[in-house]
Amino acid sequence: MRENKSILQHIDWVMVTLYFVLITMGWMCIYASVYNEEHNKLIDFNLNHGKQLIWIGAGLLIALLLLIMDGKFYSAFAYIIYGVTLVLLIIVLLVGRRVKGSQSWFEIGSFKLQPAEFAKFSTTLALAKFLSNPNIKLKQNKTKLYAIALLLLPIALILLQNDTGSALVYFSFIFVLYREGLSGNYLLLGFAAIVIFILALLVDKITLIIIFGSIVLAFIVLVRKTKRNIFSLVGIFLICSGMVLSVDYVFNHVLQEHQRTRINVLLGKEQDLKDKGWNVHQSMIAIGDGGFFGRGFLKGSQTTFDFVPKQSTDFIFCTVGEEFGFVGVFVVISLFMILLARIIFIAERQRSSFSRIYGYGVASILFFHIMVNIGMTIGLAPVIGIPLPFFTYGGSSLLAFTMMLFVFIRLDAHRLQVLS
Amino acid sequence: MIQSISTNRKYIIIAIFLSVGLIFLARLFYIQVIDDSYFKSAQHNFLRPVTQYPSRGLIYDRKGKLLVYNEPVYDLMVTPKLIKHIDTVEFCGLIGIDKEEFDKKLRLAKKYSKDIPSPFEKQLSKETYGTLMEKLDNYPGFFVQPRTLRRYNDKTAAHLLGDIGEVDSATIKTSKYYRDGDYIGKSGIELTYEPELRGKRGSKLMMVDVHGRLMGSFEKGKYDTLAVGGENLATSMDADLQAYGESLMQNKIGGIAAIEPSTGEILAMVSTPSYDPNLLVGRIRAKNYATLLFDPLKPLYNRALLSAYPPGSTFKIMMALIAQQEGVLLPETRYPCAHGYPPGGGKPACHVHPSPLDLVQAIAYSCNSYFSYVFKSVFDKKQFSNSEESFENWRKHVLSFGFGRKLGVDLPTELSGGVPTIEHYDKVFGENHWKSSTILSLGIGQGELGASPLKMANVMAIVANRGYYYIPHVVKSIGDKKFQFEKYTTKNYTTVNQDYFYVVIEGMEDAVESGTAAASKVKDITICGKTGTAENPGKSHSVFVGFAPKDNPKIAIAVLVEHGGWGADWATPIATLMIEKYLTGTIARPEIEKRMMDGVILPAPKPIVN
């Protein structure tokens, strides 16, 4: 009793409130995407919005359980949870159900579970556990390798399920590693890699290399001509040129046909108004239809008449855009940003490095989902089918994000009992 | 040191997160607020203007009998962009086309527009429509657009009523109203009264879902405009009389025009051979139109309105009036006849009758010699210094009767020429090389003179009215309003004074009572008429003009039977039967009626030349 009371006193109500506001809005959007003349009942367990209500109920129950659990539990059992998840990822490859080309679903009765969604949570726990060990230092290459191995295991298993989108999410841990001491150059390198990849696809390769060469030459002229400076500049030039030249190979041989198409559509090199390109086109039309104030709840024409594909899952943001307009998307993006900032703020106040690292992991994963999902609906990111946290219809992602967030809330509530 | 690094990094991470959020908001602001192309695309996506076609006005006869009505048909429309995974084989089977045709039609539709619906298959049959409607949901991108076609209760008056067809591209270019696939009047009343008959197209803004299914009216029909139906028309035609005229004229080539003198209303306008107007409707129109167009007897040609026939002896009536007006002819004036015109050495020739005759008798017996003298007297009047002057004077009189110019009938075309000009004779004979004797045959309605049966009937209306006419017209009322164009309610006077008509009418009465038309007189009806035997290459045309009754005339008529020979043989009996039918509703002379209906005067079929 006493324990529980103190938890209620110490949990961060800002995050809890944000969570409730977001899932409520998410549920409204799912209802709106289902809604039409025939399907207008607020509660109908045969339809997406009704089912989601069950998942929300389940999520709240689990959140409560997670809050009641001992704060030390998550740190202590991090590797075990991670291990169990890996086993699940292997089992799903063997007995899982194939949905739209991905072998990533367990089917239990009429419900489906996607272990990859939970793997994000458990990997965050494991990474936090590993990096919070006071004896290890990220500067050491051995540590980096271990950390990367920790991430690569679930990535590999998820890639085997043919779920590229979920695997890409693990790139977001670069923020966590950066916070914990990884050189900022990696972040820059990652950013540069993306820029070079895009430029190499859009601009002639030789021209690009000449431009890089000129820039490097200019630097060599400007900076002090120490051996070290010249050496690193030439090195950067060689790396960039190598990347430019390898882009074609990666693009043509590593990526699959549909991935190439999505990237080409995103870059405007290919007009594909039938398949994926059509999705994005319709999505932008729906969002544009919202205008400043939106069409009003349940009044979006594009969503009501099914012009937007996957409107309760991947493209649920369109409903926000069309029915609530710029005001709506401003509110939703702001809420997400406040949540992210709040998580980081709270992570920073943790005494335990496990809690802090875990917090950063949660923020990074949420950020990656938000960036890619919303970016995709407005044509700023390639079409990668990953859910918008708390909005997208589906039990697994809702439960996984709920667990992630509430474990963090529990850890935070526990922080005063932790000796730094 | 470490603390400061981590603080920095915290801010860097937050900055990255927030900048992505800001980029997104900027992008969203652009899509939602600044750029309206997405908004327009959304409208375009789910709103489809569905044209509401107005029902075309119905057409009635003068007694309120329905002549032309609308029949619903259905056009199968296609929006190429919306077609998805359809069973082409089954679909082709349903509408009865093959795959090749399907591809061709789809290509055409795509060429027109991928987003805007266009006709795929027009005027589906009722059976096709029925079976298709059950399965239409399986074919996204296709829908059915109701239209109407014209149907004709009787098979009569095809030329007068006219027909409708799809509007051509030239009209679409110049008109603000018409759009591809619209129907428009092509001939007859349908063409002249197109603006009244067509009504006004409406538009309904319907919502459609991604499959192109109609999901209801947008915003409760706030943006819808209703189609306004066309006005109903009552023609002045008497459908029974028209049909009767057509049956009398069957198997003969020629025309009948009948006018109510007191109003100028056209009671009947028969042109034979004719055709069933239902042949020029819908899908069969193009094929039948071609067949009719290449028929050597030219059934599409409205002879009663357009043909320039020599009026023959019927012109003597006008000559008698003009000469009296010119003061060169008195009722008592007598001229000799020796089976021909003596000064012309017996030319023009004449038939056997007492001689000399006065004016009344000359009309009754249709004396060629008499009217040659009359023509000469008009032409050689002292006041004129040359042939040109006197010809122009004569021509002015003739034109005042409506010959040689358009009358202004409310039909798309009519005969405009038919009276020669000075230039014509100057060209043929040379300037100053022609005189009254050169063109003497004009006096008896031959030579270069030509008039349509309608013009001849109009002259009879003038005589019946003793000096004036109303422009002949076919429409009596539009909608609920009585037809009140000033053009058709104004008296048009000729150059001949009213006083000169009575003696002519007397002659015409005698012609039917005891003269050339005596064989066709009708008991209890005083018909005033004049026969004509219009010479032309081949056998003469049989002509009759007249009106009845003599006092307070109800009908003026002209009948022309091509190559019918004497006026009394065919045209006169037909005309008097028409008059009898119109005035009494029955026929007391069934044997004549039978003879007329059974008569066949058609050219021998031309030998086929290989």
Of B382, B355, B380, the C-alpha closest to B370 is B355
Of B420, B379, B25, B375, the C-alpha closest to A287 is B25
User: Residue B542 and residue B411: Cα distance in Å, rounded?
Assistant: 26
Q: What angle do CA B255, B256, B259 make, to 5 degrees?
A: 145
Asked if the model's pLDDT at residue A407 lies above 90, the reply is yes
Contact: B42, A301; criterion CB under 8 Å: yes
Each residue's pLDDT tens digit, A89-113: 999 998 887 777 777 788 877 778 8
Alpha-carbon Rg of chain B, whole angstroms? Answer: 34
Neighbours of B111 (CB within 10 A): 10
Alpha-carbon Rg of chain A, whole angstroms? Answer: 23
B421, two tokens? 């000009």
Contact: A341, B42; criterion CB under 8 Å: no
User: Residue A100 and residue A385: Cα distance in Å, rounded?
Assistant: 11
For B82, nearest residue in chain A (alpha carbons): A274
Contacts 24+ apart (CB under 8 A), B218-222: B218/B47
Q: Which of residues 312-371 of A touch B (CB under 8 A)?
A: 321-322, 325-326, 329-330, 333-334, 336-337, 340-341, 344, 348, 360, 363, 367, 370-371
Contact: B210, A175; criterion CB under 8 Å: no
pLDDT at residue A412 in the model: 93
User: Shortest CB distance from B6 goes to which of A179, A285, A302?
Assistant: A179
DSSP B30: I
B49 Cα to chain A: minimum distance (Å): 15
CATH for the stretch B48-235:
3.90.1310.10
Q: Burial level of B213, CB count in 10 A (0-12/13-18/19+)? A: middle
Of A16, A3, A97, the C-alpha closest to A343 is A16
What DSSP element (H or E) covers A377? helix A353-377
A85, two tokens? 């998840």
B92 Cα to chain A: minimum distance (Å): 25
User: Residue B587 and residue B579: Cα distance in Å, rounded?
Assistant: 10
DSSP B603: P
Q: Which of chain A's residues have a Cβ under 8 Å away from the Cβ of B23? A: 380
DSSP H helical ranges for A203-254: 205-222, 227-249
pLDDT at residue A57 in the model: 95
Q: Which of chain B's residues have a Cβ under 8 Å away from the Cβ of A327? A: none
DSSP H helical ranges for B309-434: 316-325, 359-365, 368-379, 387-400, 422-429
For B27, nearest residue in chain A (alpha carbons): A378
Q: Which of residues 371-410 of A touch B (CB under 8 A)?
A: 371, 374-375, 378-380
For B22, nearest residue in chain A (alpha carbons): A333
Contact: B41, A334; criterion CB under 8 Å: no
Contact: A333, B25; criterion CB under 8 Å: yes
Asked if the model's pLDDT at residue A419 lies above 80, the reply is no
Q: Which of chain B's residues have a Cβ under 8 Å away from the Cβ of A336? A: 21
User: Shortest CB distance from B24 goes to which of A175, A181, A378?
Assistant: A378
Q: How far is C-alpha A387 from the geometric centre of its chain's CA atoms?
A: 8
Q: Which residues of B touch A (CB under 8 A)?
A: 5-6, 9-10, 12-14, 16-18, 20-21, 23-25, 27-29, 31-33, 35-39, 41-43, 45-47, 207-211, 215
Q: How far is C-alpha B290 from the geometric centre of its chain's CA atoms?
A: 18
User: Shortest CB distance from B39 goes to which of A291, A306, A333?
Assistant: A291
Q: Look over chain A and give the mean of its residue pLDDT values, rounded to a whole number.
A: 87
pLDDT at residue A420 in the model: 46
DSSP H helical ranges for B266-306: 285-293, 303-306
Of B223, B272, B201, the C-alpha closest to B561 is B272
Backbone phi, then psi, for B147, in 5-degree steps? -135, 175
Lowest mean pLDDT across A269-273, A315-319, B103-107 = A269-273
User: Shortest CB distance from A305 goes to which of B21, B23, B207?
Assistant: B207
Each residue's pLDDT tens digit, B354-385: 888 999 999 999 999 999 999 999 998 888 88
The pLDDT confidence band at residue A4, using thresholds 50, 70 and 90, is: low
User: Residue B73 and residue B147: Cα distance in Å, rounded?
Assistant: 5
For B19, nearest residue in chain A (alpha carbons): A337
Q: What angle do CA B318, B321, B325 make, to 5 degrees?
A: 135
Neighbours of B126 (CB within 10 A): 10
Each residue's pLDDT tens digit, B147-164: 888 999 888 999 999 999
User: What value of ipTM does the predicted structure carry?
Assistant: 0.91
Q: Which of chain B's residues have a Cβ under 8 Å away from the Cβ of A375? A: 20, 24
Q: In Å, how far are A152, A395, A401, B566 from A159, measured between CA atoms?
A: 10, 21, 21, 104
DSSP B440: G
Interface A–B counts its CB contacts (< 8 A) at 119
pLDDT at residue A1 in the model: 42
Each residue's pLDDT tens digit, A59-91: 999 999 999 888 889 999 999 999 999 999 999
pLDDT at residue B491 in the model: 95
Residues facing residue B51 across a β-bridge: B203
Q: Which of chain A's residues have a Cβ under 8 Å away from the Cβ of B36? A: 288
Cβ atoms of B555 and B267 closer than 8 Å = yes
Q: Burial level of B250, CB count in 10 A (0-12/13-18/19+)? A: middle
Per-residue pLDDT averaged across A236-261, rounded? 81
CATH for the stretch B239-288+305-598:
3.40.710.10
Buried b / exposed e over A16-52, threshold 16 CB at 10 Å, is eebbeebbebbbbbbbbbbbeeeeeeeeeeebbbbbb
B20 Cα to chain A: minimum distance (Å): 7
To test the contact with chain A by mutation, choose from B5, B24, B33, B43 the residue with the greatest count of A C-beta atoms within 10 A, namely: B24
Name the amino acid, one letter, at A52.
Answer: Q
A306, two tokens? 């099914």
Contact: A289, B42; criterion CB under 8 Å: yes
pLDDT at residue A276 in the model: 61
The pLDDT confidence band at residue A2, using thresholds 50, 70 and 90, is: very low
A64, two tokens? 């409560």
B293, two tokens? 């167009």
The pLDDT confidence band at residue A273, using thresholds 50, 70 and 90, is: low
Cβ atoms of B201 and B51 closer than 8 Å = yes
User: Shortest CB distance from A378 goes to which of B31, B41, B211?
Assistant: B31
Cβ atoms of B575 and B547 closer than 8 Å = no
Q: Domain ranges for chain A, please list them.
A: 2-182+266-417, 186-254
Q: What angle do CA B368, B550, B584 make, to 5 degrees?
A: 115
- Percent of chain A at pLDDT > 90 equals 46
pLDDT at residue B5 in the model: 60
Question: If phi over 0 gives left and psi between -120 and 50 gives alpha, with beta otherwise, what is residue A173?
Answer: alpha
User: Shortest CB distance from A179 goes to which of B9, B37, B43?
Assistant: B9
Per-residue pLDDT averaged across A130-152, rounded? 89
Q: Which of chain A's residues have a Cβ under 8 Å away from the Cβ of B211? A: 306
User: Residue B65 and residue B71: Cα distance in Å, rounded?
Assistant: 17
Q: Which of chain B's residues have a Cβ under 8 Å away from the Cβ of A321? A: 28, 32
Contact: B28, A378; criterion CB under 8 Å: yes
Concatenated DSSP letters for A78-147? HHHHHHHHHHHHHHHHHHPEEETTEEEEEEETTEEE-HHHHHHHHHHHHHHHHHT-TT--TTSHHHHHHH
Residues facing residue B254 across a β-bridge: B272, B561
A114, two tokens? 């996607």
Residues facing residue B165 across a β-bridge: B184
B91 Cα to chain A: minimum distance (Å): 23
Q: In Å, how far are A153, A367, B294, B350 from A143, measured between CA atoms?
A: 16, 25, 97, 135
In the predicted model, residues of chain B with pLDDT beneath 70 are 1-7, 211-213, 483, 605-610
Of A419, A418, A420, A411, the C-alpha closest to A7 is A411
Backbone phi, then psi, for B242, in 5-degree steps? -60, -50
Cβ atoms of A251 and A202 closer than 8 Å = no
Q: How far is C-alpha B287 from the geometric centre of its chain's CA atoms?
A: 20
pLDDT at residue A175 in the model: 93
User: Shortest CB distance from A291 goes to which of B21, B33, B211?
Assistant: B33
Each residue's pLDDT tens digit, A369-394: 999 999 999 988 888 889 999 999 98
Name the amino acid, one letter, at A83.
Answer: G
